[in-house]
């Protein structure tokens, strides 16, 4: 079985990930440029002292990843944390160890490891506040058998991606959950 250290080494840097993006690249770059971490020096110092590294299981077509990955990158830059990205669809052996609700290959998943490569924490795929928005937005969809489902689903996805790109309260919810996960 591949160790988390080996998975980390297999990953690509955030810069390499962004450079190869085909979908949501502009949206991700917008969030990365616009999101600002709050001033929390004691948390940043404490996190820096843990010398953690992060593995992000992601794909560029994922709206959640488009919003969450920049928050992780900003936190990593502030605390000196190395991050490596692994594409979900070509790393299912790892992905299947981090299924949402035991069944879903939902992304992104952030795995935080210590200097020895031991898992310290994991987070993902979505902040609770964002999940509530997604659930509420999807509630308007007709049944899958309804001929209007496909068109309605496209509209829902468009609405969600727009919110993920623009809603700073969502970005802050992701940050707060990451902070709570790592501040233990």
Categorize the per-residue pLDDT at 102 as very low, low, confident or very high, splitting at 50, 70 and 90: confident
**In this prediction, what percent of the chain has a pLDDT beyond 70?**
100
More confident residue, 103 or 70: 70
**pLDDT the model gives residue 184:** 77
- Give the count of beta carbons closer than 10 Å to the beta carbon of residue 47: 22
Q: pLDDT value at position 1?
A: 78
pLDDT of residue 131: 96
Task: Kindly tell me if the per-residue pLDDT of 24 is higher than 80.
Answer: yes
Helix, strand, coil tally for the chain in percent (to 5) = 55, 15, 30
Give the mean pLDDT of 4-32. 96
Q: Is the pLDDT of residue 2 over 90?
A: no
Please state, rounded to an integer, the average pLDDT across all residues of the chain. Answer: 95
CB 65 within 8 A of CB 127: no
The class level of CATH for 4-126+174-182 reads: alpha beta
Mean pLDDT of 153-180: 96
Average pLDDT over residues 156-184: 95
Question: What is the b/e burial string over 24-35, where b = at least 16 CB atoms within 10 angstroms of the residue's CB?
Answer: beebbebbbeeb
pLDDT (0 to 100) of residue 11? 97
C-beta separation of 109 from 95 below 8 A: yes
């Amino acid at each position: 079985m591949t160790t988390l250290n080996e998975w980390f080494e297999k990953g690509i840097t955030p810069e390499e990930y962004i450079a190869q993006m085909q979908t949501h690249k502009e949206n991700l770059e917008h969030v990365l440029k616009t999101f600002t971490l709050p001033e929390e020096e004691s948390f940043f110092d404490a996190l820096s002292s843990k010398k953690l590294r992060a593995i992000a299981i992601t794909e560029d077509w994922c709206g959640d990843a488009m919003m969450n990955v920049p928050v992780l990158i900003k936190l990593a830059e502030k605390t000196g944390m190395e991050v490596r990205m692994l594409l979900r669809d070509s790393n299912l052996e790892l992905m299947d160890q981090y299924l949402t609700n035991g069944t879903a290959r939902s992304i992104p998943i952030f795995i935080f490891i210590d200097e020895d490569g031991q898992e310290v924490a994991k987070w993902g795929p979505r902040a609770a506040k964002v999940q509530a928005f997604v659930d509420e937005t999807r509630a308007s969809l007709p049944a899958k058998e309804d001929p209007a489902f496909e068109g309605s689903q496209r509209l829902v996805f468009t609405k969600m991606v727009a919110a993920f790109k623009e809603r700073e309260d969502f970005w802050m919810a992701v940050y707060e959950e990451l902070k709570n996960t790592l501040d233990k």
